[in-house]
Structure 1
Amino acid sequence: MLVACAGGLLSLSSGRATPPSGAENTAIVAQNLGPSASTIQMEYYDSDGELIPGVTRTETNVPAGGSRTFDQLTETGLPDGFQGIGVLNSDQPIGAVLQRRILDGAGNYSLGAILAPNSAWSSLAFPILLNNFSSDQYNSRFVVTNVGTTVACLRIRYAVTASLGTAPVGSSIVDAPSATSASCPVGYTLAAGAQLYFGDSDNAKPFLPQLAATQLAATVDVINVSSTNPIAGTADLFRSDGNRLLGSYSAFGISATNPATDDVGTDVVVPLAIKHRSGYYSVIGVQNLGASAADIRIRYLGATEGGIPVDTTVTLPNVNQAAFHSTYDESTPIPLDFVGYAVVSSSQPVAALLIRGKQTVYQSGLNEPIYTAVNGTPRENGATKASLPIIYRRFEKANASFIGWNSWIQVQVADGSTATVTLRFVGDPTAGCPVGPYTSTATVNGSKVFYMNADTDNGFPAGQSPVCFKGGAQITSNKPLIVISNMSTDTYIDGDGEALYEAIPGN
């Protein structure tokens, strides 16, 4: 989680042990977004907001666009079982991505990625949460951090979007306990600089009993709103039946006073959507954050692998709180082998979250441990510069038969037209790979994916693809863009070695 301005503070949640089984650790990858070389310093705080003394690391001379990794596993001053907050300070603007990694003793892996939010808010939206849902034991946890200087009193409002329990679909249930402290006569007490976990996880405040066996959306509101107690949040989605799938996302910030700056809108671009015979599918969770019920339209755009254009709109009628749509819903006319993106529109402001999963084959009902989440972006939030703190190419290959860590970058022109883009990659000199920088230009007609592992047309200059790469990337354009990136690895024996995150926008 992040509170970030130029040269300012970044605050992110850090490691803890939870399903899937194994030791959980995090790595925070910080990127210099400024025009000059920077110094970046990391400090750690516990969940109550208390500084952990003697555990500070400083990286100097980080070039513009470059990244450095702060790996909590190798921070010898952090105690085993540490759970808390990392704070980054810099003399240049910075952004960050948190990698969440769970590895068991047999070499099975789970990976999630979260873009550190660039602001904090008085209200947050979580479009998809899960509480022991279905026989596959889908679960979730979410964390809220007070990035201000005074106490925040929290109210959580849950909306049930699917139910195998007693709570009816469409019901709304409020969780706001009384008298949790002298500062909060109503609501959960969240001290300045502290964090609270909720949901299905050790040390988390559990979901209310009446929410058993449900899929949910949630809003978290600061009851005692002031400029000194804004909050930020993240969520993890996972299974507790042994399947290692894991998906992570940042909460959507909501601003009642300045909605043009927040993460929700009436015209939201979801840069990826898929319905494929190999088993890949996508789910879009939508949350109506307006004052009245509204139809929510999801327009799927792209083509089949056979080259047949697709332009199909699915309408979710009269959504009062939240709903979702899966491309594997056979009642809706999305053709098989569709690959593209989606636009979510409504008369009311909405948050839209993409989940991409994979079944063994089309409609088998058996999910493989491949699960990623990424936030949709209001079209007006598109920007002519996008920064990606962590990009890989053939990094840490176990041997010649592996491809190692790799990334792809999807560039979406916000208005769907054609743009000229410049890609610049700056390597991390501690990674043992060429550092560049590497710069190339390309034409993007609506949308384009650059696969770093490809031999050509991979975003690197023609004929100059490095043998391996780990570092940051920045994309500039003559038109506003919406950009997401993937990271994946085949290094581990089994599990979910893939994650998505959205780029940091700038102009």
Structure 2
Amino acid sequence: MLRKVTAIALVTGLMMALVLVLAPVRSVSAQQGIQWSTGFQVQNLGTAQATVDIRLINPDGTSAANILGESIAAGASKTYFPIPSVNAGFSGSAVIEADQPVAAILNILGNNGVAGAPFYSEAATGLTQGATTVNLPLIQRGNAGFDTWFAVQNAGTAAAPVTVSFNPGDAGTAHTVNSAAIAPGASLVFDQSTLTELGDRFVGSAQITSAQPLAVIVNQVGKTGFRTQLTYSGFAAGSTEVVLPLVQQANAGFFSGISIQNIGSAAADVTVAFGANTISGGASLTNQTFNLGAGASRAIIVNGADRYVGSAVVTSAQPIVVVVNQLSGQFGTSYEGISSASATTRASLPLLMANNAGFFTAVQCRNAGTVSTTATMTFTPNVIAGSTLTPAPDSAPLQPGQSVTWFQNAKIPTERYVGGATVTTSPASNVVCIVNQLAPANAGDAFLTYNGINF
């Protein structure tokens, strides 16, 4: 039996012994005047070699290419960049299926190799299924140079239109868009930069509904001031407790923005409780509580003067969804807040790097459980040809609510490494992680983030 993974607009998708939904994947296609290209990584989470099939789908639902019979060893990962077997300019979606459980992430690049143009980059995590209602906590138009666009993929079995309801938060006008039918597996792009009905400035949220399950990827693109790209996946469901593995302030120029949407049926108080500062002697942050109406959203900017690197938990009596933006003067990235109900005792990290064309990764994990534990990160072998390196595991004791940061360049100071890892806990306690990918010497926005995949 093949498991399926779905992807969204551009080129998306992966397959599992389930279905995996990935976000947009493109082979050089334009949106908002930027040339976008994508690649993706697939990790085998199973105990035996996986056979993987990848279907690349045009926007009209026809087949662009099939990559069949790919083999990935147990615990290993494979990178697809550039996307094989498609023509230049391909813009569509992808579905990945496999006979073992798999995880996947998507890396999105803007103006890669385009001389004189600002460089953008981001990452997103593949999804195992879609939903008929998808929530987007942060949508922007004309907001300090930021506009959003999002890709909607039909993860179902029949063609269906979608309805997008935009709800203003800090600014803007409510508006509803009804689309034409989207073919099964295909995707459609919605660009807020051209949607004048939202008003000159819009900061708010959106909800997308359809008779067929959907997968959605949102790109926040700054074209003036902050020339950065921040990407997150739409939420199929909310939670009354959401964990944020990394929140930072005054950290080498980085700060965080936390966007929260109440997707429940009634107004409710929302509390943001910050964890301990991992910086020795560092200041603590003050918890915040406020009321959010049903369907409403609010953004909190964590940008004080005291250096802070830690984590947070957001709670409410109504289901909420949360996106965290990480920004500096040059770099920007997003990740999705993780429902405590989806946390498990292990997390897959399909892509880790050290000294890779200027890129390295940093992993941030939080003990989301109720007991003290030791978190251990076990690496996969290096996929770079000729290398025999398999890095030794990293471990750290974690109290409930405590977080840890592991830098791969600090562990692997000279050799080029590209691989993956799995984080486990002993004694068993739930753990959630994110992975930052950064090339600090790059002149553009070479900063990408994806969520660790709990399984």
Q: TM-score, normalised by structure 1?
A: 0.80
Contact residue 284 and residue 353 of structure 1 kept, 8 A = yes
Contact residue 112 and residue 248 of structure 1 kept, 8 A = yes
Change (3 A) 1:327 1:82: same
Deviation of 1:21 (Å): 5.8
Deviations 1:411-456 (A, max 9, x none): 111036521223221135355544527445432332111111114x
Instruction: Write out aligned runs for 1:177-326 (5 A).
Output: 188-200=180-192, 206-207=194-195, 209-222=197-210, 225=211, 229-241=212-224, 243-254=226-237, 264-276=238-250, 278-303=252-277, 305=279, 307-308=281-282, 310=284, 312-320=286-294, 321-326=296-301
The unaligned stretches of length 5 or more in structure 2 are 1-5, 8-12
1:381 is matched with 342
Instruction: Write out aligned runs for 1:32-431 (5 A).
Output: 32-53=44-65, 56=67, 58-60=69-71, 62-72=72-82, 75=84, 77-102=85-110, 103=112, 104-106=114-116, 108-134=118-144, 137-163=145-171, 167=173, 172-176=174-178, 188-200=180-192, 206-207=194-195, 209-222=197-210, 225=211, 229-241=212-224, 243-254=226-237, 264-276=238-250, 278-303=252-277, 305=279, 307-308=281-282, 310=284, 312-320=286-294, 321-328=296-303, 336-358=306-328, 368-396=329-357, 404-415=358-369, 417-430=371-384
Give SS of 1:350's match: strand
In structure 2, distance between residues paired with 1:280 and 1:439: 28
Q: RMSD in angstroms over aligned alpha carbons? A: 2.5
2:436 corresponds to 1:444: no
2:10 is matched with none
Give SS of 1:453's match: helix
Change (3 A) 1:280 1:19: farther
Greater C-alpha radius of gyration: 1
479-488 or 106-115, larger mean C-alpha shift:
106-115
Deviation of 1:309 (Å): 5.3
In structure 2, distance between residues paired with 1:318 and 1:248: 24
Report the identity percentage. 24
Deviation of 1:350 (Å): 0.1
In structure 2, distance between residues paired with 1:417 and 1:234: 35
In structure 2, distance between residues paired with 1:466 and 1:336: 32
Contact residue 21 and residue 215 of structure 2 kept, 8 A = no
Contact residue 29 and residue 90 of structure 2 kept, 8 A = no
Contact residue 434 and residue 468 of structure 1 kept, 8 A = no
In structure 2, distance between residues paired with 1:210 and 1:442: 47
Contact residue 175 and residue 197 of structure 2 kept, 8 A = no
Deviations 1:25-73 (A, max 9, x none): 10011110111122323331111221124x536532x222211011135
The unaligned stretches of length 5 or more in structure 1 are 177-186, 255-263, 329-333, 359-367, 397-403, 459-464
Change (3 A) 1:432 1:393: farther
